[in-house]
Structure 1
């Protein structure tokens, strides 16, 4: 989708003849406010739901299939990426029934390595772009960063919004940048078609729940395929209340437009127990249509190990030692 198409669509949605910063501000600040106490209480209540054995087995397999297995370190090597891809393909070598993960997420210069290592599978390669994690670069640099990853074959692009612009109320700047990056994700069908755009809000820096809701709607208006909580480099990263707000946003967006946008909490989700809390929240908030890797993901590295250990415990009745899984 081109920037002009995004602008036209936004004008139609807002009911204005010209998309301006004032129009966006009026629309975003006209969204219902978030009751922080109520949101926290709702998330806490959902986190206490009891999950029985059969449902737990399904939830663990579903969570594994939703993992974006991630390595985003300056010391990443070709060998580390290949090792991660091998784990993505076969998470538990002792049990071939274990689902594969949804994607492997790497820096864009390592996309060709991941593409080669995952050839013949349905596992996607996601690339972080747009001067991840700070987002502090010119639009020209961000576009070049995105195009480089798309041309290398990335199926998904994880971009970061300009939090400084958002917090300054320069919503049109944020909209224009997301729309431009969305345009840079275009690719001919003969080369795999457009890459999906996951827009990272970096919710830990947005200060208020109202800002999380506004940033979610702004990203969707500009063309996001997914909205994502965090880079994993800022604390706090993903939290259940913030994810609840984002799930409410995508639910409401579908009611308004008919479009289904995905949600990806990332950072700090390390245990099966935590992952199941998120799945319960997805089901109770957005609905079962989002209980699919095409609509919900976990950005994680260590989470997969705990899911494998818990899956093995359900299958055998005994806990395995830490050496049962690889250390990533």
Structure 2
């Protein structure tokens, strides 16, 4: 149920958020074998938007890292458009993979469709086998402060998901202020979101930034403290390098704790990130960076 008193009482201190984000990016780092271990963890948290590659085919790198259980190193989910869910589910089943299929829905990336159409798209994706649904919230309702109406929409989307996990995309670059980001995070969690996600990756301005991450993680932490419910977090948009992955893992560890450092509660929406992670791990094992021909095309 929505708690409007809580939502309306929110006021974010922007300078404090920026100072916290700068501290994370300037004073926290991991090196050598610890960096390799954290990058392997990052791989398991990536939501891939392609079926063309898998890290698990690089057994030479895993052997060089003295990592024996190849099956543990697989991405968090494969994310596709609703029309591709059925073929993605079949493809993964045919190769014996238990990686879940996630579908972007509700008129991704704009979300500017009738509610009836958005709900039907969710139901069809679930019917075709999607185990996770990434929905887009109605940013107009957030911008004009109609939080109860936004809650009701997201609640209906959650109902349409059935047993599938729902990730609520806030599209933070279109919410105007960090106060709105926090409020939208709360409303999505109150409506039953299993994850809150920064961006579609298609916004023209802000996608996943550390200040946004701090605010959303604080909302998750506050919500957990008040309700006992753990909600996951997914940054997406603009994440391309291993350094990006490490910064987000550090943010999660420091703001939410080790319980969130797994793909049940943390995902990275960044398929191109995988290539750079593999490049860095190759360097760690072989002492040099791989030629283009030595890495699979993504």
Q: 5+ unaligned residues in a row in structure 1: which ranges?
A: 1-8, 15-23, 71-83, 187-193
**8 Å contact kept, 1:106–1:128:** yes
- The answer for the alignment partner of 2:251 in structure 1 is 281
Deviations 1:174-227 (A, max 9, x none): 1111100100111xxxxxxx1000000000011111111101001000000000
- Answering whether residue 211 of structure 2 is matched by residue 228 of structure 1, we say no
TM-score, normalised via structure 1 length: 0.84
Q: Is 2:177 the counterpart of 1:211?
A: no
Q: Among 58, 65, 87, which residue is 1:92 paired with?
A: 58
TM alignment of 1:234-273, pairs within 5 A: 234=203, 235-273=205-243
Alpha-carbon distance in 2 for matches of 1:91, 1:294: 23
Partner residue of 1:64 out of 27, 35, 43: 43
The 5 A counterparts of 1:158-177 are 158-177=134-153
Structure 1 equivalent of residue 34 of structure 2: 55
Give SS of 1:198's match: strand
The equivalent of 1:42 in structure 2 is 20
Q: Is the 8 A contact 1:106 1:126 kept in 2?
A: yes
2:86 is the counterpart of 1:112: yes
Question: 1:93-144 deviations in whole A, cap 9, x for unaligned?
Answer: 6446561111111100000111111112231110000011111111110111
State the TM-score, normalized to the length of structure 2.
Answer: 0.92
Q: CA RMSD in A?
A: 1.5
SS at match of 1:62: helix
Structure 1: how far apart are the matches of 2:33 and 2:61? 18
What displacement does 1:317 show? 1.5
86-95 or 110-119, larger mean C-alpha shift: 86-95
Alpha-carbon deviation of 1:268? 0.4
Contact 1:69/1:88 (<8 A) preserved: no
Residues 61 and 281, structure 2, Cα contact 8 Å, conserved in 1? no
Query: By how many angstroms is 1:321 displaced?
Result: 2.0
Q: Is the Cα–Cα contact under 8 Å of residues 102 and 124 in structure 1 kept in the other structure?
A: yes
Q: CA deviation at 1:155?
A: 0.7
Superposition deviation, residue 265 in structure 1? 0.2
The DSSP-based 3-state class of the residue aligned with 2:236 is coil
| TM-aligned CA deviation for residue 323 of structure 1 | 3.1
- What is the CA distance between 1:27 and its match in structure 2? 2.9
Q: Residue deviations 1:130-176, cap 9 Å, x none?
A: 01111111111011100010000001000000001111111122111
The answer to whether the 8 A contact 2:85-2:101 is kept is yes
Residue segments in structure 2 that go unaligned for 5+ positions in a row: none
Seen in structure 2, the aligned counterparts of structure 1 residues 269 and 56 have a Cα distance that, compared at 3 Å, is same
Distance 2:230 2:270 in 1: 23
Task: Write the deviation string for residues 289-327 of structure 1: whole angstroms up to 9, x where unpaired.
Answer: 110110000001210000111111111221112333233
Cα contact 1:86–1:117 (8 A) shared by 2:
no
| Deviation (angstroms), 1:88 | 3.3
